[in-house]
Amino acid sequence: MSTVSTPVPQEMRPQTAGKRRGSRARRREALLGYLYISPWIVGYLLLIIGPVLASFYLSLTRYSIITPPVFIGLENYIRAFTADPLFAKSMWNTFYFVVISVPLSITTSLLLALLLDQGLRATKLFRTLFFLPSITPVVASILLWRWIFQPDFGVINYGLSLVGIQGPQWLASPVWVKPSLIVIALWGSVGGSQMIVFLAGLQSIPTDLYEVAAIDGASRWHRFWRVTLPLLTPAIFFNVILGIIAGFRTFTAAYIATGGGPAYESLFFVLYLFFNAFQFMNMGYASAMAWVLLLIVLALTAVQFGLSKRWVYYEAGD
C-alpha cells in the first residue's frame, strides 16, 4: 500500500531560517545592552563588591595599613564582644540615639506634613522654611548649634537665665550631651525627606474617603485614625526603615560637636569605628565593627519587614 504525501501549506512550514535570524538579532541586542551597561557593572564590581569582600577579609586580620595584614580568624569579633568596653559603650549610645530620635522624627515630620496639607494661605512659605534646615550644610548647622548650646553665652542658657533658671552644660554634660545631639539631628531631619514622603502620602489619599466618613458621622479625630493613618502606613514604614539606618550611621554631629565626649557619652558606633580605622590605624578591627553594624541593620530591617505584615496596609491595585 502506497501512501500519498500531502503538501504542507507554506504558512504551516517551520520557519527555521527566520527563527535563527531572530535569535541572532536578540543575542546581538542583548550583547549591545550589556556593552552599554558594562561601565556601571565594572564600577559596581570594583568600587562596591570589591571593597565589601576586602573588608570582610580584613575583618579576619590584624592590619594597620603600614604593615601587611596577618590572618587571625575571629579574634577581632571576639575582642569586640568580650574585651572592648568602648565597643559596648558605643553600641549603647547608638541604640539610645536611634530609639529616641527615630520616633520623635517620624511623629514630628507627620505633624508638619498634616499642617502643610491643610491648604493654609502661606503653605508655600511654610514648606520652604521647614525644608531649609535639611539643605543647610551639615557642618555649618552643627557649628551654629554648638554656639546655641554654649553653656556661658549660648542662646538657650541666656534665655533660661532671664527667667531665673540655671541652664545645664548641654554638650559638655554627660547627662545632656545625647539629648542635645538628638535635638540637632531632629532639626536637620524633621522638615526634610520624611516630611515630603508623608506629604506625598497625604495628597494621594482620595478625598472621597473623607467625605464618606464625614457623612457617616466620623469626627476629625476618627477620620485621621481610621482613614489617614492606615493609608499612610506604607509611608510610615518607609520612613522608619530609613530613619533606623540613618540613626545607626550617625557620625558628623558627634565628631564635630563633641568628638565622642564627655566621658564617651557621645561615642557613637560609627564614630568609634572611624577612630579605630584612622586614628588607631586598626583597620582589621574597624572592618569587623563595620560587619557587625551591617548585620545589626540587616537584622532590624528583616524584623521590620516581618512585623510590617501586621500593620502596614497596601491598597490593592486595579
- Tell me the C-alpha to C-alpha distance, in Å, between residue 39 and each of 35, 42, 46: 8, 5, 10
Matching residue, cell 514622603: 197
- Tell me the C-alpha to C-alpha distance, in Å, between residue 43 and each of 39, 56, 287: 6, 19, 22
Structure confidence at residue 317 (pLDDT): 47
Q: Band the pLDDT of 190: cuts 50, 70, 90.
A: confident
The residue ranges of every structural domain in the chain are 84-311
User: How much of the chain, in percent, has pLDDT values that exceed 90?
Assistant: 64
Residues in the chain: 318
**Rounded distance between C-alpha atoms, residue 256 and residue 251, angstroms:** 9
Mean predicted confidence (pLDDT) in 115-133: 82
Please tell me the pTM assigned to this model: 0.86
Helix (H, G, I), strand (E, B) or coil at 61: strand
Helix (H, G, I), strand (E, B) or coil at 62: strand
Tell whether the model's pLDDT for residue 5 goes beyond 70. no
260: left (phi over 0), alpha (psi -120 to 50) or beta: left
Matching residue, cell 543575542: 27
Mean predicted confidence (pLDDT) in 288-312: 94
pLDDT by residue (tens digit) across 53-109? 999 999 999 998 888 999 999 999 999 999 999 999 999 999 999 999 999 999 999
Identify the CA nearest to 93 among candidates 278, 243, 254: 254
User: Which CATH number is 84-311 given?
Assistant: 1.10.3720.10
Mean predicted confidence (pLDDT) in 137-147: 92
Tell whether the model's pLDDT for residue 1 goes beyond 50. no
Mean predicted confidence (pLDDT) in 2-31: 65
pLDDT by residue (tens digit) across 166-177? 999 999 999 999
73: left (phi over 0), alpha (psi -120 to 50) or beta: left
Cell matching residue 137: 550644610
Q: Band the pLDDT of 250: cuts 50, 70, 90.
A: very high
Among the residue ranges 73-82, 115-124, 195-204, 298-307, the one predicted with the least confidence is 115-124
Residue 89: CB atoms within 10 Å:
18
**Rounded distance between C-alpha atoms, residue 110 and residue 290, angstroms:** 32
**What is the biggest distance separating any 2 CA atoms in the chain, rounded to whole angstroms?**
121
